[in-house]
Amino acid sequence: MIYKAVLTSGVGLLLAVSATAQTNPLPIKKSKNTGLFNITQIGYNAGVGQATYRSDVVLDYRGSVNRFRTTFGYFLNPAVSVGLGFGLDGYHEPSYNTAPLVADVRYYRQPTGNSLFITGNGGYALKLGAGFERGVTTGLHVGYRVIAGRSTNLLFSVGPEAQQIQDARINLIGPGSFEQIESTIWLKSISFNAGFLF
């Protein structure tokens, strides 16, 4: 009996909200592709793969990357935007932290409405402190934008990325021997990102 009352109340509330929405429609912004914008996103990278420390020292990693990045930019026209992004990336196996500062260029196939897009970025990871590594970073992604409201879009993307780690150190320990190698390595992975375009 209680379930029936709750169900009836819920249906009544849903009908009331639906009727109000139909009589007072909110104007929906069809495109966020004008002027200044911000993109805030989180990401996960998989398949870090091989790292070559020396010609005879190549290690296979099965690690991952967790990411937070925010980009401020400007639409040159409704289909093309440029921006500057900054973020924090945490690599796990191998363990490295980076703070990349990147230039970001995007092309939207449909300037209004839901749309496929392509984005490329490149820059440099800044050494913010002892716990951060420096090096060149680059990425190329394909994604899809979903209109989520009057001033917000959802962005989903996937693509390859590469992060250089300068002065990466590794210790080689063998029977009666110890050697520390310092080298510049590249960590390559596939990135999955989700975020908001404001």
For the segment 30-56, what is each residue's pLDDT rounded down to a tens digit? 556 899 999 999 999 998 888 999 998
3-state secondary structure at position 10: helix
- Give all domains of the chain, ordered by start, each with its CATH number: 31-197 (2.40.160.20)
3-state secondary structure at position 148: coil
* Closest by Cα among 67, 133, 70 to 102: 70
79-97 confidence digits (pLDDT tens): 999 999 999 999 999 999 9
Task: Give the pLDDT of residue 5.
Answer: 43
Distance between CA 148 and CA 138 in Å, rounded?
29
Distance between CA 57 and CA 170 in Å, rounded?
10
Q: How many CA within 13 A on the CB side of residue 107?
A: 6
Angle at 165 between CA 162 and CA 170, to 5 degrees: 125
Q: Which two tokens stand for residue 41?
A: 């996103």
Task: Give the pLDDT of residue 31.
Answer: 58
Q: What dihedral angle (degrees, nearest 10) is formed by the CA atoms of 172, 178, 181, 186? A: 10
The radius of gyration of the chain from alpha carbons, rounded to an integer in Å, stands at: 23
Contact yes or no for 103/82 (Cβ under 8 A): yes
Distance between CA 98 and CA 137 in Å, rounded?
10
Question: Residue for token digits 């402190």?
Answer: 129
3-state secondary structure at position 182: strand
Residues of the chain with pLDDT under 70: 1-32
Q: In terms of residues, how long is the chain?
A: 198
Question: What percent of the chain has a predicted confidence (pLDDT) above 90?
Answer: 69
Task: Give the pLDDT of residue 150.
Answer: 78
57 forms beta bridges with 54
Instruction: Output the pTM of the full model.
Output: 0.80
Q: How far is CA 79 from CA 75, 102, 154, 190, in A?
A: 8, 20, 16, 25
